Structure 1
């Protein structure tokens, strides 16, 4: 039995699973990142491990926000405005030192991609690129079952990609979508959220339609760049906004058909994430099993 965690800025999802990726228990607690910072997260995680380990725990698999050195299990950088005093946290020292349990740590977007590869929409793919569209936008390239980290462990950081409309983070995120609609409708900042924007879209609101189409255009530009460079079997789309597949798929496919050579468009599968809220925990476990060479 393995203890799995997915540490985000808002919540820590956690549970136990067997080596086949079957979740036995699941729960969550608020991260309280801004009020307690990194030390508070460490305290919460230790409390979770203590409560779940019993005599059967074989390891702790962690998915986390922030940039991660997977070899040392260290958070190399976390945005202070999101999780203060988290940079430098060494989870191996914390977990192995206190509980004598092996651990592994990987970035949350990478874990979500691994979860989709193992149990979700990417099952069976030899290569895939996973994209999460939320407050910002993140990405992960997987080849032959392993995350491609790159020289500085920043492969897949598509938020910094340049597309015709500018930097991708500034043009393809829930934040930009909401702000565009608020500005067009002359509403104060913070008046809307993503769900409300899509509710307006369902009602035929022109400002919501224009904002969603602009987001999809930037996303299609990014996917085109990714496909031209990596040519993966599959593009997997996740994150809160991408839950609206029925609305977004036709728009995205139309844009991609315009941008990609027909043979490339036809060979590239576009899938929407299937594992939802469990992707991070499942991916963390898959990474642990890889790191510790456990056969599932």
Structure 2
């Protein structure tokens, strides 16, 4: 039986990934259960509880949860979970502690978990002021200061995806998340493009997709530049599936970000691709259990 073993669960709009994580950063037993087709909280718990019970039987003493939305310090999900509406107003850690009082449970926003994972074991190692941006269905972000997430006064910091907000149908991540770009590419080309097809068209010098890529990175570069001016990070980590195409994405982001900064601010923040890919949130969700001096 593994000493000080943690179960990590990364709840997403389509599925909840889970795995066991050890204090030295080893991840095993990765699996998932669906979330998108569930009708209510009871159905969610019907999938979650067997995972918890199995983990306890395997020796897990901690459960770390990564979840979209605005998460209060007491674990209450206040909102921001449009894809999983049954989680709004729910305190999952409290429910799990009632299910098993000896279990230590924590929960954090998924962007924060990804940033903590990258800080602990990925591209954020050694950074003092780390800004992490995740491009996917939405645009997630989090700020890590000296190894600690910055939650903001109302536990709502890091919502870069809502930048340029003008209405509930018009803000940054609607058109400039990876999902938004793929939707626009599909409309312009008349073909249903996934990420692989979009990248291949770029590598084949398709003019339509190249223009979209330029618009995408220029807009994201403007947002990054504004945040660099405000936060002065030493490193910006770009995560999400698209980060695997770092040879395409990172040079353009660097170019557009630095062009939209005053000269004295250019190239101060290193822009790098995430290293942990889709496992960053799994690592980050349990990172607090392995901090020096924390009783686990």
Same fold, TM-score > 0.5, yes or no = yes
Partner of 2:43: 40
- TM-score, normalised relative to structure 1: 0.90
Partner of 2:128: 126
SS at match of 2:38: helix
**Counterpart-to-counterpart distance in 2, 1:17 and 1:60:** 10
Deviations 1:206-240, CA, capped at 9 Å, x for gaps: 11101111110011001001100000111010112
2:37 is the alignment partner of 1:29: no
SS at match of 2:57: coil
Q: CA deviation at 1:67?
A: 2.0
**Counterpart-to-counterpart distance in 1, 2:57 and 2:231:** 44
Q: Identify the match of residue 69 of structure 2 among 66, 70, 85.
A: 66
- TM-score, normalised relative to structure 2: 0.90
Q: Identify the match of residue 170 of structure 1 among 169, 174, 192.
A: 174
2:111 is the alignment partner of 1:112: no
Partner of 1:254: 255
Q: CA deviation at 1:7?
A: 1.1
What do you get for the CA RMSD once the two structures are aligned? 2.1
The answer on whether the counterparts of 2:240 and 2:278 sit within 8 Å (CA) in structure 1 is no
Deviations 1:137-193, CA, capped at 9 Å, x for gaps: 111111111111111211110111129xx83223421232123223322x27xx222
The answer on whether the counterparts of 1:66 and 1:77 sit within 8 Å (CA) in structure 2 is yes
Q: Identify the match of residue 144 of structure 2 among 133, 142, 145.
A: 142
The number of residue pairs the alignment matches comes to: 287
The answer on whether the counterparts of 1:39 and 1:85 sit within 8 Å (CA) in structure 2 is no
Residues 64 and 218 from structure 1, CA distance in 2 versus in 1: closer, same or farther, beyond 3 angstroms?
same
- Unaligned 5+ runs, structure 2: none
Aligned counterparts, 1:107-256, within 5 A: 107-162=109-164, 167-185=171-189, 187=190, 191-256=192-257
The answer on whether the counterparts of 2:250 and 2:272 sit within 8 Å (CA) in structure 1 is no
Residues 67 and 105 from structure 1, CA distance in 2 versus in 1: closer, same or farther, beyond 3 angstroms?
same
- Unaligned 5+ runs, structure 1: none
